[in-house]
A and B are shown apart, each in its own frame.
Chain A
């Protein structure tokens, strides 16, 4: 790589950072959207933990319900800020012609999308920190230092997987009005069979196998494994990492296909 290319690459990385900043500013300024993407998981956390907080889970050796539910709701929160939020906002930006406008500027397309991904990652991190804080202070749920590796692998891999899927799925959403319906159809049933709201250890085998194919279960399970006080070792669960990894590849392929589409003729 020669000097000119290096300088221009450095400039584009700078532009990516600026883009992330503008996206963050726009995200928090739209209070209604910020509420749904950000405060909903927190609200569910408080409600469910208050109702079922005193229960224990017999199929998991008397594990306190909150040790199961807090990582589950964290998985839901990650899906909301990465998958849901990116898909809806990208569909809106496409329908409004903003993507087309961006295509006419000198900003490279990868730089624009990387900026948007960086911004949604910041939102995800803030939400994760808030869930961890409330879990710790309110319900004495936390990740032990021994299983921190498992926690970080789940967080990073899960976010990457759902972010790319969220942008990639926009190609299959005809218009932004339909986006929430399509996305809820794709995700909500999965959250019920994937052990986010309640324990699914005893559910019918075929339903469990269906859930295990999809990344919702893998992310929730990976986080629950890392949070579980009884887990020994690094807290990394190979099966879940494998499923998330495969879906990450699917997500990357879908995202690249969406981004290669010429927007003028879309």
Chain B
């Protein structure tokens, strides 16, 4: 059985169609990530699945239940980290975990959770006195207090410094180890790349690509890119023939796109050694998730650029 099943999901607000017929499944134990720019509809979908919003059309099932029905059974089995959500400011970390734990029939102990999110030193500190990162970790602990089967994480590391992000990633990976299903939204490519088993890229309310991060947008099937600087007094046509999809030079910078990067590299470096040439800034790379993402969501990026230009004027 799948943890989440969504088909033809639509959400309309007056004139605006925020989600336009989205379909996907999330398997039990999977880390699934919605990736997309702000305003793409990630949070709307997440909040429909969490039961906070109604849907305008389509089907949705979470742990076999309809999230719109607002069943207590579902809230017992789901943990939620909302994007920005306060807690009772004048209760301590320990008291909050104890209080929220009581709401569930099966809960995890405050001690265990405090250790998991490394808030040991803050156990007796009021929520009001926690730093941003500590609050986010408390959010995570509170989401896990009912020992949920499925955890929703809506942009869990937005506003974190790099070190805090690494820590949060480690915690999320630890959750996967416990067999939890995780539904994640983010606009950070590296976060999706590191954590997710599968990524769905969203743009303007639609899923435009879906798959494991390494295969997304045919990434694994794309040619590798070899780059280097053409040595002085050397022209592009002096290079040896190599199997390539594309070969071009911008000034002295050479780009070769090829499905046989090992062979192409060997032939070019052999040629360079033979002529006793040094190839400055020589590199071989596979297109990154970011390249694919920018290409997929390109239209939106162009829109943003236009907006920035308009603001400058």
On whether A106 and B146 interact (CB within 8 A), knowing A22-B99, A262-B54, A264-B52, the answer reads yes
Please tell me if B76 contacts chain A, counting CB pairs below 8 Å. yes
Quick check: A107 and B53 within 8 Å, CB to CB? Answer: no
Contacting residue for A106 out of B50, B72, B88, CB 8 A:
B72
Please tell me if B103 contacts chain A, counting CB pairs below 8 Å. yes
Q: Which residue of B lies closest to A103 (CB)?
A: B52
Quick check: B102 and A15 within 8 Å, CB to CB? Answer: yes
On whether A262 and B53 interact (CB within 8 A), knowing A96-B86, A101-B82, A105-B103, the answer reads yes
A18 and B95 CA atoms in complex are apart in Å by 12
Please tell me if B51 contacts chain A, counting CB pairs below 8 Å. yes
In the complex, chain B residues whose CB is within 8 Å of the CB of A26: 88-91
Please tell me if B100 contacts chain A, counting CB pairs below 8 Å. yes
Quick check: B104 and A106 within 8 Å, CB to CB? Answer: yes
In the complex, chain A residues whose CB is within 8 Å of the CB of B86: 93, 96-98, 101
B9 to chain A, nearest CB (A): 15
A245 and B77 CA atoms in complex are apart in Å by 42
Please tell me if B126 contacts chain A, counting CB pairs below 8 Å. yes
Chain A, 19-44, CB within 8 A of any chain B CB? 19, 22, 25-27, 29-30
Q: Which residue of A lies closest to B73 (CB)?
A: A106
On whether A105 and B47 interact (CB within 8 A), knowing A30-B90, A262-B52, the answer reads no
Chain A, 143-176, CB within 8 A of any chain B CB? none
On whether A25 and B75 interact (CB within 8 A), knowing A97-B84, A103-B52, A262-B54, the answer reads no
Quick check: B54 and A107 within 8 Å, CB to CB? Answer: no
Please tell me if B140 contacts chain A, counting CB pairs below 8 Å. no
Please report whether the interface of chain A is mostly helix, strand, loop or mixed according to DSSP.
helix
A103 to chain B, nearest CB (A): 7
Contacting residue for B50 out of A19, A27, A97, A104, CB 8 A:
A104
A213 and B6 CA atoms in complex are apart in Å by 54
A105 and B50 CA atoms in complex are apart in Å by 11
In the complex, chain B residues whose CB is within 8 Å of the CB of A18: 99, 102
A98 and B87 CA atoms in complex are apart in Å by 5
Binding site for B on A (CB under 8 A): 15, 18-19, 22, 25-27, 29-30, 93, 96-98, 100-101, 103-108, 262-265
25 A-B pairs within 8 Å (CB atoms) are namely A22-B88, A22-B91, A22-B99, A25-B95, A26-B89, A26-B90, A29-B90, A30-B89, A97-B84, A98-B85, A98-B87, A101-B82, A101-B142, A103-B52, A104-B50, A104-B51, A104-B52, A105-B103, A105-B146, A106-B75, A106-B103, A262-B52, A264-B51, A264-B53, A265-B53
Quick check: B90 and A101 within 8 Å, CB to CB? Answer: no
Chain B 253-281 near chain A by CB (<8 Å), digits 1 or 0:
00000000000000000000000000000
Q: Which residue of A lies closest to B52 (CB)?
A: A264
Pick the most buried of B75, B86, B105: most chain A CB atoms within 10 A of its CB: B86
On whether A106 and B90 interact (CB within 8 A), knowing A97-B84, A101-B85, A263-B52, the answer reads no
A22 and B101 CA atoms in complex are apart in Å by 13
Please tell me if B226 contacts chain A, counting CB pairs below 8 Å. no
Q: Which residue of B lies closest to A108 (CB)?
A: B72
Chain B 132-157 near chain A by CB (<8 Å), digits 1 or 0:
00000000001000100000000000
A71 and B31 CA atoms in complex are apart in Å by 62
In the complex, chain A residues whose CB is within 8 Å of the CB of B95: 22, 25
Q: Which residue of B lies closest to A111 (CB)?
A: B103
A119 to chain B, nearest CB (A): 12
A105 and B82 CA atoms in complex are apart in Å by 12
Please tell me if B80 contacts chain A, counting CB pairs below 8 Å. yes
Besides A26-B91, A29-B126, A265-B53, 15 new A-B residue pairs in contact (Cβ under 8 A), listed by A number: A22-B91, A25-B90, A25-B91, A26-B89, A26-B90, A96-B85, A96-B86, A97-B85, A97-B86, A98-B85, A98-B87, A100-B52, A103-B52, A107-B103, A264-B53
